[in-house]
Chain A
Amino acid sequence: MSILTATGVEVTYPGSGRPVRAVAGVDLAVEPGEVLGLVGESGCGKSSLARALVGLVAPTAGTVVFDSQPVEALRRRARPVAQRRLQMVFQDPYSSLNARRRVGDQIADALRLAGGGGRRRAPAAVGALLERVGLDPAMQTRYPHEFSGGQRQRVAVARALAADPSVIVADEPISALDASAQAQVANLLVGLARTEGVAVVFISHDLAIVRQVADRTAVMYLGTVVEVGPTATLWEDPQHPYTRALIDAVPTPDGSGRLPADLPGDVPDPAAPPSGCRFHPRCPLVTPDCSSWEPVLRVQEPGHAAACILAPDRGAPDRSTTGVPS
């Protein structure tokens, strides 16, 4: 059974003019112990979706269910007990950690909140958490500025681990780090999934990293998931032109001098999305029907779905393809 499920999730922010629908109806299921990559350009709604998944924003429509319980939007009080094992790691460990408190104290707070015993046992438990993320337990008396960027992000992961999470939603956890530190933090999160069964939602604009770490990948464009499937399949044989364009834009460090392919245009204003397929104004394969028909996710093969007029339903050959205009 899925540990975290989003059904028809929409997130709308009131704008100065029209309200902005940052997430426009997303269905997503996260299985225990898997790494689910979530990719897309800035403005595609991946961070808003992440926040809705952990209850940091209330969806304007749809539901999020964690461990068979609906996720309630957080208020000013602590996270409800039922959601403690749903944790988030943010992009910038400089701002997600308190600069004026020792990291050990911050992790101890998280342990206390999670009901992990009193003050006295804290140092040993904190040390154990630091060891789990590959840091020296003696570092708990240090302040965040005494750590490198990658180490600080590992402290943030240790703090999330204090709640014994079954899901960690990590929003761009490595994009503020050097290449070598990126690998360390990415390997750490994947290790948690592989060895401890923690499901990780790994949000990143770096496709090369997601290709490496994610079991499955969901591609978002302008508030909707346009393709989802096993990472290897998605990468080898993408069915949505947007997925193809993202992959082709990734430069490869092979010394070949090949320039990455360009995808002209910007993500449109989510307050005024294009009609029909939201990608059609930028799509290299656009057809005359694309501006009037809004594609839905259709099964390509088991576990792989794409929302494109050129990707007909291949999941159920006995059923007539639904939703295609005649």
Chain B
Amino acid sequence: MTAPLLEVSGLRVRLPSRTGAMLPAVDGVDLTVHAGEVLGVAGESGSGKTMTALATLGLLPHGARTDGSIRLAGRELLTLSDKQLRSVRGREVAMVAQDPRTALHPMLSIERQLTEHLRHHHGVGRKAARDEAADLLDQVRIPDPRAALARYPHEFSGGMRQRIAIASALAARPSLLIADEPTTALDVTVQAGILRLLDRLRRERGLAVLIITHDLGVLSSIADRLVVMYAGRVVESGTTADVLASARHPYTHGLLDALPEGGSAAMRPIPGSPPALGAVPSGCPFHPRCASARDTCAADVPALLQIAPGRLSACPVDPYAPVREVVS
């Protein structure tokens, strides 16, 4: 197997609280994304999904401390200077955030926002850059792309702005796209179009995608592998098909049970709420909400262990392990 494009290992992010204490938001996360692969990161708010993404981009809030290693195409990002990181963000990694209102500059034309990267980072001429930008707008299905280039963000609907934000992220010709809840605010019809676009880009261009969302339906349709996070840690990972069809960690099970299935079965929410920053329970952070918890769960932080080839889970109780045939 070739070396991964993105390799995050032992990532820890601590954020300063109001009193100055450093609170762990990401607590030892390992993940890899290969070229042309879509890795999905699932979990509730506060699970550390977004902080993991922001750390990869070097865009953590002021005062945050990062430990561990983030390597992009073999190059360590955590030791780069701000200037070097800016260059990486411009050329190699791009991000699409949830809110299309903040991703685009309201005072700049769409053309300026889509061609800036190409002209500054790739030295493309004005006309060629405009052609490429129009082509990108066409790919994200903005009607009449040439005319759209001369317009400003407020002239577009929320769904169109999000598609333009995606076009602007892709305009830098990144090898890795980090998409944080890219379709959560959108209609299912627009969402379907964007998922198809991302799928095409990874197949045609070998784009690697790290997609973060709490929507397991979205991840099911596009992600090759899944990482489920809770309270700053990875609790389960594996291929999307394996994790969704035979989830092993009680938290993953809880997320699936909370989904509507159709028919009359009620959605079963996970009791309680995810822990707040700095108030992570002892032992397994999920134990206060877990129906399978035992006394030992409050004591020891469970290790993320291999349970099958390519499958990791951090639950020593493992209540959803497949029943083994008992040979007598």
> Which of B157, B221, B242 contacts A260, CB < 8 Å?
B221
Complex interface: chain A residues within 8 A of B235 (CB):
none
A148 touches B273 (CB 8 A): yes
B residues whose Cβ falls under 8 Å from a Cβ of A:
44-45, 141, 143, 157-160, 187-193, 195-196, 199, 214-222, 240-245, 254-256, 258-262, 266-270, 273-274
Cα(A150)–Cα(B258), bound, Å: 13
B258 touches A180 (CB 8 A): yes
Please name the 4 residue pairs, one residue from A and one from B, whose CB atoms are nearest each other, closest first. Answer: A255-B244, A212-B260, A251-B217, A183-B267
A208 touches B259 (CB 8 A): yes
Complex interface: chain B residues within 8 A of A256 (CB):
220, 241
Complex interface: chain A residues within 8 A of B189 (CB):
41, 245-246, 249, 262-263
Complex interface: chain A residues within 8 A of B256 (CB):
253
In the complex, which residue of chain B has the Cβ closest to the Cβ of A260?
B192
Cα(A205)–Cα(B185), bound, Å: 10
**A43 on the interface (CB 8 Å rule)?**
yes
Complex interface: chain B residues within 8 A of A100 (CB):
none
B258 touches A183 (CB 8 A): yes
In the complex, which residue of chain A has the Cβ closest to the Cβ of B261?
A212
Cα(A297)–Cα(B15), bound, Å: 56
**A254 on the interface (CB 8 Å rule)?**
yes
**A12 on the interface (CB 8 Å rule)?**
no
Cα(A255)–Cα(B217), bound, Å: 8
Complex interface: chain A residues within 8 A of B254 (CB):
180
B220 touches A212 (CB 8 A): no
Complex interface: chain A residues within 8 A of B259 (CB):
179, 183, 208, 253
B262 touches A178 (CB 8 A): no
Q: Report whether over half of chain A's contact residues are helix, strand or loop; otherwise say mixed.
A: loop
Known: A212-B261, A249-B192. 20 other contacts (CB 8 A): A41-B189, A41-B190, A42-B158, A179-B255, A179-B258, A179-B259, A180-B44, A180-B254, A187-B269, A208-B262, A246-B189, A251-B217, A251-B221, A253-B220, A255-B220, A257-B220, A257-B222, A262-B196, A263-B192, A266-B190
B44 touches A179 (CB 8 A): yes
**A151 on the interface (CB 8 Å rule)?**
yes
Cα(A25)–Cα(B268), bound, Å: 38
The residue among B44, B245, B258, B269 with the most chain A CB atoms within 10 A of its own CB is: B269
**A3 on the interface (CB 8 Å rule)?**
no
Cα(A131)–Cα(B45), bound, Å: 25
**A261 on the interface (CB 8 Å rule)?**
yes
B261 touches A249 (CB 8 A): no
In the complex, 6 of the A-B residue pairs with CB atoms within 8 angstroms, ordered by the A residue number, are A42-B158, A149-B45, A178-B45, A178-B214, A251-B195, A260-B188
Shortest distance between the CB of A236 and any CB in chain B (Å): 10
Q: Report whether over half of chain B's contact residues are helix, strand or loop; otherwise say mixed.
A: helix
Complex interface: chain A residues within 8 A of B191 (CB):
249, 251, 260
Chain A interface: which size bin?
35 or more
Complex interface: chain A residues within 8 A of B159 (CB):
42, 266
B245 touches A212 (CB 8 A): no
In the complex, which residue of chain B has the Cβ closest to the Cβ of A263?
B189
B258 touches A42 (CB 8 A): no
Complex interface: chain B residues within 8 A of A235 (CB):
262
In the complex, which residue of chain B has the Cβ closest to the Cβ of A42?
B187
Cα(A260)–Cα(B222), bound, Å: 9
Complex interface: chain A residues within 8 A of B274 (CB):
178
Interface string of A179-200 (1 = CB under 8 A from B): 1111110110000000000000
**A120 on the interface (CB 8 Å rule)?**
no
A255 touches B241 (CB 8 A): yes
Complex interface: chain A residues within 8 A of B261 (CB):
212
**A258 on the interface (CB 8 Å rule)?**
yes
Cα(A182)–Cα(B216), bound, Å: 13
Cα(A235)–Cα(B260), bound, Å: 14
Complex interface: chain A residues within 8 A of B195 (CB):
251, 259-260
Cα(A182)–Cα(B196), bound, Å: 26
Shortest distance between the CB of B131 and any CB in chain A (Å): 23
> Which of B44, B187, B260 contacts A209, CB < 8 Å?
B260
Shortest distance between the CB of B47 and any CB in chain A (Å): 9
**A132 on the interface (CB 8 Å rule)?**
no
Complex interface: chain B residues within 8 A of A246 (CB):
188-189
A182 touches B273 (CB 8 A): no
Decide: A259 near B270, CB < 8 A? Known: A42-B158, A180-B254. no
In the complex, which residue of chain B has the Cβ closest to the Cβ of A213?
B260
> Which of B214, B215, B244, B267 contacts A212, CB < 8 Å?
B267
Complex interface: chain A residues within 8 A of B199 (CB):
259
Interface string of A222-249 (1 = CB under 8 A from B): 0000000000000100000000011001
